[in-house]
Structure 1
Amino acid sequence: MPAYGRPPAYARAVLHILDARTGEPVPAAPARRGLTRIEARASGLDPTALRVLLTADLLVRALELGGTPVWTILSAPRRHAELRTAATALSIRPFEDGHDLASGLGEAQAIQVAAEGTDVPGGGPVVEVAPAEWTQLPAGTHAPEPDTTGHPPWPAAHPATPPVLPALLADPAALRLALLSVPRGEPARLDPDALEAAAGRLARWRRAVAGWARQPSRPVPDTVRARLRSAWEDDLDLPAVLDVLRDVADAPGLPDGARFETYVYADRLLALDLARDLGSLA
């Protein structure tokens, strides 16, 4: 369907997520007005943990775009500081420090984000994230040493070593796009080729956005906005959001100003800094 074609017969009005506890879709926003608390549960410092943090960030951004106030915390038994540093590099919103303040501000719902197979205590919806793994180790890496708790710093299921994290975060936006391109319920297999492809796609989009910005601004077409929201409100279907952007870039007859505004609007969720090259001579 063209990006600017007939509007869908039905558009979701509320973000829905698949609750891993019940296997059923549930509204991510509370029925009564109040904060939604998002808790990212990371068991270590590995590519899967980064994917958990990224999913929590996307949930936060999608809820905020729908007008829902959100409170986010990070639950991690170890490497807490390193996870926060990695999150910052990936343009993930900062996590709050306290667990209890949100309840005093009228918390209405809590959603936990965790890797598949994680034992998540308490009630409320759980958003599960499939594993992510680095499938090609950089030259010179070796088996990791246990940390002070006696646990390897990287889970055995992801035999990456500490030097891998700097390699993954060498281009954080490309890593973010590579992870966004894979459905959350499918394993994400990262290697240098995948990151290079994501970096190339990101560079092309940034050049295009910079070029479109030179034309008069036009509003995001209603049908395009509806497709974007329908995609991310359907259990955070980010690959579908990226498909909409691809269609908008290729749609014949669509004003460049509308393409620009569409990409800037979608980037409020994607956080890929798509307007970074504005004013360049590309």
Structure 2
Amino acid sequence: MLRITDPRTGHLVDVPAAPRRLLRSSVHLPPLGTDTGTGTTEDTGTGIGPWHLRVLLVGDVLARTAELNGLQVVTVLTTGELTPDRTGALDRIMAVLGIHPPTALTPHRPDAALGGPADVHVLAPGDDGDTTGLRIEVGRVDTAPPEQDASTRELLGAPDPSDTADPLAVRLLLLGHPHTEPLTITGPALAEARRTLRQWRTRVADWARHPSRPIPADLLRQSYAALAENLDAAAVLDLLTALADRPDVPPGAKFETFAHLDRVLGLDLARDIGH
């Protein structure tokens, strides 16, 4: 059972998907083209900034976690009116960040596209639209001014002349912080996320050459419990960090654990297998 802290009460609430085993999720982007405090609008011309990316990512993690728990998920992205250029940019950004495309994109109430009222709304704090159902509020994201240009390029998946950019490092960085809390992205933090991602992919490729072993039951239980309570991907990342250096866990079990949990994390950790 998935549980989310309702920001209106501060209490954990069960995500209402049973008994039909269908979760209707509505992801609401902040208005595009407005000032998000990052300069991204001026740099890219799309109006899509880091805060928008985080809202999309939380909706994606919700869907992946629900599917891991045996639910069928229908996700609608509510964006307001979009130009064709912005629609195309949004599609490209979701693709490079590993965000599963929504079932539908609508500028209006999502009920028709969802087949009924939304069970869960993923949105920015202060979004006071008609959101009957559970709310998941996503904290603001800014970029630190000294690193702003590099961060913006990588956040939006643009080519980087140094060939060091990896948009999934942005995904890792965002997942490593509670989604309800404000976050400022810096160049050093992105660099560390890139290093971690490269290291994990190298190690997963190495572990894949060893005989398969079962995922440690305690680690699987802790990971599922963390995801089931407030989509705590940061706790899962901490568990994987500790697992990577545990001498008592066989390499084959480490591989299976990383590969299995990557179904929710979406970091393409098995990318280097065979290379």
User: RMSD of aligned C-alpha atoms?
Assistant: 1.9
Aligned equivalent of 1:262: 257
1:112 pairs with 2:121: yes
Gapped regions of structure 2 (runs ≥ 5): 33-47, 158-164
Bigger helix share: 2
Q: C-alpha separation between the residues in 2 aligned to 1:194 and 1:122?
A: 34
Q: How does 1:229-268 map to 2 (within 5 A)?
A: 229-268=224-263
Indicate the structure whose relative CO is greater, using CA pairs within 8 Å and at least 6 residues apart. Answer: 1
1:273 pairs with 2:260: no
1:59 pairs with 2:62: yes
- The range that moved more, 183-192 or 205-214, is 183-192
Q: How does 1:1-282 map to 2 (within 5 A)?
A: 14-43=1-30, 44=32, 45-77=48-80, 78=82, 79-97=86-104, 99=110, 100-103=112-115, 110-136=119-145, 165-168=152-155, 169=157, 170-280=165-275
- The structure with the largest alpha-carbon Rg is 1
For residues 27-85 of structure 1, the C-alpha deviation after alignment (integer angstroms, 9 at most, x for no partner) is 12423214211111112221111000000000000000001110011111244442232
Gapped regions of structure 1 (runs ≥ 5): 1-13, 142-162
Q: C-alpha separation between the residues in 1 aligned to 2:11 and 2:87?
A: 31
Give the length in aligned residue pairs. Answer: 242
Query: After the TM superposition, which segments of 4 or more aligned residues of structure 1 sit over 4 Å from their partners?
Result: none
SS class of match (1:127):
strand
Q: C-alpha separation between the residues in 2 aligned to 1:34 and 1:209?
A: 33
For residues 100-154 of structure 1, the C-alpha deviation after alignment (integer angstroms, 9 at most, x for no partner) is 2432xxx585211011222231310110011111113668x7xxxxxxxxxxxxx
For residues 156-207 of structure 1, the C-alpha deviation after alignment (integer angstroms, 9 at most, x for no partner) is xxxxxxx964342242110000101111122121122111110000000001
Q: C-alpha separation between the residues in 2 aligned to 1:15 and 1:62?
A: 8
Aligned equivalent of 1:159: none
Identity fraction in percent: 38
Q: C-alpha separation between the residues in 2 aligned to 1:115 and 1:138?
A: 24
Q: C-alpha separation between the residues in 1 aligned to 2:246 and 2:269?
A: 19
Q: C-alpha separation between the residues in 1 aligned to 2:219 and 2:97?
A: 27
For residues 218-265 of structure 1, the C-alpha deviation after alignment (integer angstroms, 9 at most, x for no partner) is 010111110110111110111100011012112122111000000001
